[in-house]
Structure 1
């Protein structure tokens, strides 16, 4: 083989190999990015809220949990309405031409008390339900509350390495 043909073959081989390496790297990056996006989408699609905290329990237990929550919310309907009315009052007072700080503070205090009463009723309902569960089922409920609840319960602190 003569030297120009050998150089041409070497250049062609280098170009083909470079194309293959870049194709493999690009495909791997796209696969990694799509897997990461799919994982993020699955996490975002997970339902949130207190009513989904019992999803790991049996169907009868889930039903009892949701009925208890519904009853607690019905019992606390006056507190819920008072909290809504209080928020509307705060917005109305803040939008008034003259700001009455005392009235805003009073409306905020009433709203806060109504929110606390509502929260207390719902939390009591959850505790009452948990008292009926076996220790294993309570662990499942705790897991669901940690992942899906808006009760302000945080997952256990992770030890720092």
Structure 2
């Protein structure tokens, strides 16, 4: 069998396994109790939860062009992987575009969460902190006592 075809098949299979694993993780994350800052909004009181979700929807709406560019970059990467001759440089560039789009959207979401937390109550920030600690897989550390 042609070594290039084997290599292309291997790269495509790894890519597809990643897509399936990522999609499964995303679906499981949607159905279970989320542990990211974004999903922590579901633990906020009703009024704050609505404002939190609205703020995140606005970020996604404002980032629509970036999201679409990332999706297009993934389609280009998939198309490149299906070609008889792999253009590794073009594949790397397409994947980099997708990664940069993801990072841009994530940065915007995190900035909006920071603004929300800065304007929120200490109780709301505590809920967000608990979710973040669970996300990194650590137990919540006891609060530091202020010395007199």
* TM-score after normalising by structure 1: 0.60
| TM-superposition CA deviations, 1:99-121 (whole Å, max 9, x none) | 11111111111111111111111
- Tell me, in whole angstroms, the C-alpha distance in 1 between the residues paired with 2:64 and 2:31: 29
The one of 44, 47, 57 equivalent to 1:60 is 47
- Tell me, in whole angstroms, the C-alpha distance in 1 between the residues paired with 2:56 and 2:133: 17
2:32 alignment counterpart: 46
Verify the 8 A CA contact 2:37 2:128 in the aligned structure 1. no
The one of 130, 137, 142 equivalent to 1:143 is 130
1:90 alignment counterpart: 77
Structure 1 residue 139: Cα displacement: 0.4
Structure 1 residue 141: Cα displacement: 1.9
Verify the 8 A CA contact 1:83 1:111 in the aligned structure 2. yes
Alignment pair present for 1:156 and 2:144: no
Structure 2 gap ranges (5+): 1-29, 142-148
Aligned alpha-carbon RMSD (Å) = 2.5
* TM-score after normalising by structure 2: 0.65
- Tell me, in whole angstroms, the C-alpha distance in 2 between the residues paired with 1:56 and 1:115: 25
The one of 101, 113, 116 equivalent to 1:126 is 113
Aligned residues: 111
Name the larger-Rg structure.
1
The one of 71, 74, 79 equivalent to 2:66 is 79
Q: From the superposition, tell whether residues 45 and 73 of structure 1 become closer, same or farther in structure 2 (CA, over 3 Å).
A: closer
Q: Which moved more, 1:126-135 or 1:59-68?
A: 126-135
- Tell me, in whole angstroms, the C-alpha distance in 1 between the residues paired with 2:139 and 2:39: 23
